[in-house]
């Protein structure tokens, strides 16, 4: 490799690193907007990231959550599916797509992804936070707790 090729390689490396930092900063911005309930702003930022980095699984996951929060579950499923295609080992993406499938009354697909999320979540993580995010599961958990409490008294 001659001097010109080395300089070009270094320049490409710097560009790649700065692009990755820019993407992570934008994903953090979108995440914050989502957490603050600013779904339109989060969607705009996610789409900016998507235009430059179409396979960024964290961004696709946040975009799916934005769609989910606004009741657009079909779009959420597409976004989560793309995130899973980029990173099949992300338990949160499997959990999130399962919730959208459940909302769309596609129980078999939901069950498949819930199982995958649990299997992936068991690798050093507590599974309960994943499960309790789902409204249906949380309601059943609440009922079970209330029934157990009633039987004791």
Q: What is the pLDDT of residues 62-111, one digit of tens each?
A: 999 999 999 999 999 999 999 999 999 999 999 999 999 999 999 999 99
Report the predicted TM-score, pTM, of the whole model to 2 decimal places: 0.69
Extract the tokens encoding 119.
């299997």
Would you say residue 16 has pLDDT above 50?
A: no
Residue 122, helix vs strand vs coil: coil
Q: What is the pLDDT of residue 23?
A: 77
Task: Compute the average pLDDT of residues 22-35.
Answer: 87
Q: What is the pLDDT of residue 68?
A: 95
Q: Is 142 exposed, middle or buried (0-12, 13-18, 19+ CB in 10 A)?
A: exposed
Long-range CB contacts (within 8 A, 24+) of 99-105: 99/68, 99/133, 99/134, 100/64, 100/67, 100/68, 100/73, 100/74, 100/76, 101/73, 101/77, 102/134, 102/136, 103/68, 103/73, 104/73, 104/74, 104/77
pLDDT band at 139 (very low <50, low <70, confident <90, very high): confident
Q: What is the pLDDT of residue 130?
A: 56
Highest-confidence segment of 2-6, 107-111, 114-118, 132-136? 107-111
Extract the tokens encoding 113.
């992804």
Extract the tokens encoding 67.
């769609």
Higher-confidence residue of 28 and 21: namely 28
Write b or e for each residue in 78-104: b if 16 or more Cβ atoms lie within 10 A of its Cβ, otherwise e: bbbbbbbebeeebbbbbbbbbbbbbbe
Share of the chain above pLDDT 90, in %: 53
pLDDT band at 150 (very low <50, low <70, confident <90, very high): low
Higher-confidence residue of 32 and 133: namely 32
CATH 1.10.10.10 given to domain 3-152: no
Give CA angle at 125 (121, 127), nearest 5°: 60
């Amino acid at each position: 490799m001659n001097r010109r090729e080395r300089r070009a390689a270094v320049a490409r490396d710097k560009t790649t690193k700065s692009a990755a930092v820019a993407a992570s900063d934008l994903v953090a911005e979108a995440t914050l907007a989502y957490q603050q309930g600013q779904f339109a702003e989060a969607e705009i930022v996610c789409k900016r990231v998507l235009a430059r980095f179409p396979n960024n699984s964290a961004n696709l996951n946040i975009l799916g959550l934005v769609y989910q929060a606004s009741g657009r579950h079909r779009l959420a499923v597409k976004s989560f599916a793309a995130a899973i295609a980029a990173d099949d080992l992300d338990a949160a993406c499997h959990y999130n797509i399962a919730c959208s499938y459940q909302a769309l009354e596609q129980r078999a697909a939901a069950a498949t992804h819930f199982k995958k999320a649990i299997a992936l979540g068991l690798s050093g993580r507590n599974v309960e936070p994943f499960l309790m995010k789902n409204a249906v599961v949380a309601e059943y958990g609440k009922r079970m707790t209330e029934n157990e409490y009633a039987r004791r008294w």
